[in-house]
Amino acid sequence: MAPTTASARKAPLHILVVDDSAMVRQALAAILGAAGMRVEVAADPIIAIEKVRRARPDAVVLDLEMPRMDGLTFLRWLMSEADPVPALICSSLAGPGTDVAMQALETGAVGIVTKPQLGVKGFLLDSAEQLAEAVRGAAHARVRRRAAPPPPRQDASAVIPPRARPPLTTTTSKVVAVGASTGGTEALRELLEAMPPDAPGIAVVQHMPELFTGAFARRLDGLCRIEVKEAEQGDRICSGRALIAPGNHHLAVRRSGATYLVEVLEGPPVSRHRPSVDVLFRSTAQAAGSNAVGVILTGMGDDGARGLLEMRQAGAHTIAQDEASCVVFGMPKEAIAGGGACEVLPLPKIAGAVLKRSS
């Protein structure tokens, strides 16, 4: 056993340098290599993740400001692994006492080296001995696994700010806002196929990947008596038309005089989705008030529950699909529990109720 232990002690430390600056990668590789370490480099955290998975390093030297993924996000991933890797932050952003330095230490970094904004190469070379010692210390640190925090949950305020005053209701035009997720493609087909050519204008959010919504809209357009199209910026919501939110974009209803338009918006995911039903429902509540009907169909999660309540509070009639006809009774269940649904109906009866309430 003794020879094996001795040889293990002589094995060079395996260090991974993650920095988007080629000059920094080259300088650190030279400094740490001269100190007897085996150095790998990665230009961004995505590349680094693959290298860590292939061969766990003894330590990571990590910049914070990088493309594709920032250093803190990568550090959270590193610390959430079953065998977390010690990380030494080497960044110009992490000055003593800065918020980002505190966040890095709280996330699990074992130390911080602050690079200057200018003269970085000279600083690294002048600090070679201290850097090598800091990296050795990091490599021998014992770090504990930390659960990755859930991503921050955004509500509709991230895209549609709350409105203090009620919307004007001088127009008699009606708007129907519909939200759906798991099982929603067939539920929407049944709902829209039942609509007559003079049905009120409809805006739809269906959770669906980008590039699929256009084909979905074209399929429905061929089956329905109303026009169905993927929404574009400024499209009018008018009688005999349904607009489907494009994938990876929010859909919002806006009032323009006596007519309604849609806006196709960027913005963060809301209720973990983009497009989000909550964004559509909130914007409809603000733009149309009691001139709207809200419908929440089958789906997993709770997207739309808060927005449907806002629609009801603004005077809209709101409908939730019942459990028996849902593929997944998640979104309607949450909307009902939150008080957002005026009535709960089986899917075959929803079209009739929408037409009655919007006549």
Query: What pairs with residue 203 in β-bridges?
Result: 177, 243
Asked if 249 is an active-site residue, the reply is no
> How far apart are the C-alpha atoms of 38 and 139, rounded to whole Å?
12
- The active-site residue out of 44, 58, 207, 271 is 207
Q: Please identify which of the residues 19, 63, 181, 317 carries the catalytic annotation.
A: 181
Structural contact between residues 295 and 176, judged by C-beta atoms closer than 8 angstroms: yes
Rounded to 10 deg, the angle between the 71-80 and 99-107 helix axes is: 20
Q: How far is CA 20 from CA 14, 31, 45, 79, in A?
A: 20, 17, 9, 21
Transcribe 314-337 into DSSP letters: TT-EEEEE-GGG-SSBSHHHHHHH
**140 given a catalytic annotation:** no
Cα 201 from Cα 297, distance rounded (Å): 18
Distances (CA, A) of 11 to 4, 8, 14, 52, 211: 11, 5, 9, 18, 51
The CA radius of gyration of the chain, in Å to the nearest whole number, is: 28
Residue 83 appears among annotated catalytic residues = no
Residue tagged active-site, from 44, 235, 278, 303: 303
Whole-angstrom distance, CA of residue 64 vs CA of residue 8: 32
Report the amino acid identity of residue 253: V
Q: Are 141 and 109 in contact (CB under 8 A)?
A: no
| 83 to 32, 48, 55, 136: CA distances (angstroms) | 23, 16, 12, 18
Give the N- to C-terminal CA distance of the chain in Å, as an integer: 87
Q: Which residues are catalytic?
A: 181, 207, 303
